[in-house]
A and B are shown apart, each in its own frame.
Chain A
Amino acid sequence: MKKTSILDVISRKLSPFILLFGFYLVTYGHLSPGGGFQGGVVIASGIVLLLLCQGTERVQKLFPLTAVSFTEALGFFAFLAMGFLGIFLGSGYLSNFLPIGTPGEVPSAGFILVLNIVIGLKVGAGITLICFYLFKEED
C-alpha cells in the first residue's frame, strides 16, 4: 500500500497547532477550562499524530526518547519538591507558598500555575512514552 503524502503533509502542518493549543490549555488552566492533565493529553496527541504519520525514527529526532523520559521523571520529582517547599515556606506539605495575586489575571494562582505546567509536561511526556512503546513494538 503506497504511503500517500497527504498524511505526511497534513501531520507536519497540523501538529504544531495542536501542541500550541495544548500549551495554552496547560498555562491557562487556572483561568479557563483546562489544566495540567487535559493540556498534557492534548500535547501528547500532537506528538502521537506525528508518530503515526511520520513513523518513530523521524519523530525521535524531534522528541528524543531520553529527553521525553527525563522530563517525565523530572516532572514527578519537581512536584514532590514543590510539596517539600510547602513545608518550609508555606504552612504544611503541598500548601501554597507563592503570592496569590488578583484572581482573574494570568500570573494569579501562584503555586497552582507552576504545578499546572509541571503536570502538563509530565502527563504529555508520560502518555507519549506509553504510545511510543506500544507503537514501536509493532514495526
Chain B
Amino acid sequence: MKRIPQIVVLVIFSAFLFYSLQVDSPAPQKARDYLLQNGPKETGAVNLVTSIYLGYRAFDTLGETIVLLVSVSGVVYFIGKKQ
C-alpha cells in the first residue's frame, strides 16, 4: 500500500537522528559564569532567566510578542467576524 515508502523514509530519518544526536556533555558554560558574576549587577534581577529574556535578549521577547499579536489578530480575522 502507499504508506510503505513513507514509513521507510521515516525509519531512515529516525535512524539518522538516533545515530547522530549526542547529548553526553553539557554545553560550555561561558554564559552562565558571566551571568553569575555580573548578572544581578548589570540588570538588577536576581532571577537569571528573567534577566536574560527581558534584559540581554529583550529583542527576542519583542519578536515573540509580535508573533503573539499577529496570531491573535489572525485568529480574530479568520474566526472573529460574522460574515
Contact = CB atoms under 8 A, between A and B. Distances in A.
Contact of A115 (B42, B58, B68, B71): B58
A64 interface: no
Interface stretch (B5-13, B19-27, B48-56): B48-56
B72 interface: yes
A75 B47 CA distance: 23
B44 A103 contact: yes
A9 interface: no
A126 B66 CA distance: 11
A18 B47 CA distance: 22
Q: How extensive is the interface on chain B, given as a class?
A: 20 to 34
A33 B72 CA distance: 27
Interface residues of A, number: 39
A29 B47 contact: yes
A72 B69 CA distance: 7
Nearest to A114: B54
Contacts of B55: 96, 111-112
A136 to B, nearest CB: 8
A73 B66 CA distance: 10
B45 A94 contact: no
Contact of B68 (A33, A80, A83, A122): A122
Given A72-B72, A76-B65, A36 B40 contact: no
Contacts of A76: 65-66, 69
B49 to A, nearest CB: 7
Contact of A129 (B41, B46, B76): B76
Interface string B64-83: 01101101100110011000
B36 interface: no
Interface of A: 29-36, 69, 72-73, 75-76, 79-80, 83, 93-94, 96, 100-101, 103-104, 108-112, 115-116, 119, 122-123, 126, 129-130, 133-134, 137
18 contacts: A29-B47, A35-B50, A36-B50, A36-B61, A72-B72, A76-B65, A80-B62, A94-B59, A96-B42, A96-B43, A100-B41, A100-B42, A109-B45, A110-B44, A122-B68, A126-B72, A129-B75, A133-B80
